[in-house]
Amino acid sequence: MDMRFALASSWKWVLLFIVFILFVFGVSLSIGKLPVGPFDLAAILFGNGTPQSELVLFTIRLPRMVIALLIGTGLAVSGAVLQGLSRNSLADPGILGINAGAGLAVVLVIFFLQSSEWSSSPFMLPLFAFIGAVTVAALIYLFSYQDGVDPGRLILIGIGFNALCGAALMIFQLKMDPRDFQKAAIWLTGSIWGTQWRYVLALVPWIFILLPVIYAKSRALNLLQLNDQAPFTLGLHVERERKILLVLSAALAGACVSVGGGISFLGLLAPHLARRLTGPNYFSLLPVSALIGAFILLTADMIGKNILAPADVPAGIIVSIIGAPYLVYMLLSRKQTS
């Protein structure tokens, strides 16, 4: 009943954001260094386009846009889970250091295995990013555990590890070859650099396996929003569920970071907006968060690749331009209501 009621009350938002995504998807396909008009776009989709336009559409633009949708979905859901675990709407895989842990693992692979195929394999990088993200998540859990995990301490420990991983990232970047340094620097700003179908294939299994597993934990996330004793009374193994959800969230964020780089604030912004629209029930919060995240990152990528064309502004910078002021607004709103 809980799930059916939540989905019934949020279906209009689901449909609305699907329409938004389809609109931005169509516009993003059409505009760029080589504009493609509506009739040309229709001709290409029916197999009657020119070789040049088909190359631009199917080989360059389409995989990049699909990756933006997947990463936006993954980071938004990861942020929603972290906010549920910490009972804090300011939680985000970028703020808590999980993105930085994943990024550090990838940079270490690039630094130590420069001549190896592992340093450039799109199928191996998500695995290394997963290891980095889960390691940082485990350390955050370990250091914040004291007769149970205090949500406030979890946030503070995460911020500390974010700073530590950021410093380590800078040290290894400075020791890199200039070309590798430039590649890592652009990637860490949130550039969706994997614009090939093989990066889509590398990311899809992580998204399509982890998302249903996380959604199946919606009831546990709902119970974790209650006071400390209520989940125990209702039969929830609180610490076990926290560990599982933390690993799932870290795995999702790590896989996204391996392809999209360090995109901050998206995991904070999308769940917070979804919570305002649907309420705190995770049966509806998770799908709406996923759609909002996909919409925001697809729009940010479209703006980034066209606003200063032919220069390409990383989507992560566009998201930060939106997310940083929103974070300040949230902090000021909390202060006024406290």
pLDDT value of residue 113 = 74
Q: Radius of gyration (Cα) for the chain, nearest Å?
A: 20
Region of 324 please: left (phi>0), alpha (psi -120 to 50) or beta.
alpha
| Two structure tokens written together for 209 | 């396996």
| Two structure tokens written together for 207 | 């998204």
Per-residue confidence of the chain (338 residues) as pLDDT tens digits? 466 656 667 888 999 999 999 999 988 888 877 777 777 777 777 777 777 777 778 888 889 899 999 999 999 999 999 998 888 887 888 888 898 898 888 888 877 776 666 556 677 878 888 899 999 988 988 888 776 667 778 888 888 999 998 898 888 878 877 776 766 776 666 677 656 888 888 899 999 999 999 999 998 898 888 776 666 666 678 788 888 998 999 999 998 888 888 788 899 899 999 998 988 899 999 999 999 999 999 999 999 888 777 777 888 888 888 888 887 877 777 655 44
pLDDT value of residue 312 = 78
Per residue in 277-323, pLDDT (tens digit) is 988 899 999 999 999 999 999 999 999 888 777 777 888 888 888 88
Look up the domain containing 323 and give its range: 2-337
Partners of residue 49 on adjacent β-strands: none
Q: Please, what sign has the CA dihedral across residues 171, 172, 176, 181?
A: negative
Residue ranges in 175-311 assigned as alpha helix (H): 178-188, 197-215, 218-224, 229-233, 238-260, 266-278, 282-306
Write down the residue that tokens 């396996």 correspond to.
Answer: 209
Burial class of 227 by CB neighbour count within 10 A (0 to 12, 13 to 18, 19+): exposed
d(CA 200, CA 150): 37
Contact 253, 74 (CB under 8 A): yes
Rounded to 5°, angle at Cα 136 from 131 and 165: 105
Cβ neighbours of residue 217 closer than 8 Å, sequence gap 6 or more: 81, 241, 244, 245, 248
pLDDT value of residue 213 = 95
How close are the terminal C-alpha atoms of the chain, in Å?
34
Partners of residue 145 on adjacent β-strands: 149
Rounded to 5°, angle at Cα 247 from 241 and 252: 125
- Cα distances from 306 to residues 38, 79, 139, 189, in angstroms, run 18, 28, 40, 17
Q: How many domains does the chain have?
A: 1
Contact 261, 190 (CB under 8 A): yes
pLDDT value of residue 333 = 73
pTM higher than the cut 0.85: yes
pLDDT value of residue 114 = 66
pLDDT value of residue 14 = 92
| Two structure tokens written together for 1 | 């009943």
| Two structure tokens written together for 120 | 């450039």
CATH code at 48?
1.10.3470.10
Q: Which phi and psi angles does 73 have, rounded to 5°?
A: -65, -50
Other Cβ atoms closer than 10 A to 15:
11
pLDDT value of residue 329 = 78
d(CA 241, CA 85): 9
> Angle 62-86/151-174 helices, nearest 10 degrees?
140
Q: Which phi and psi angles does 32 have, rounded to 5°?
A: 150, -165
Per residue in 42-51, pLDDT (tens digit) is 777 777 777 7
- Cα distances from 215 to residues 3, 12, 63, 221, 269, in angstroms, run 11, 19, 26, 9, 19
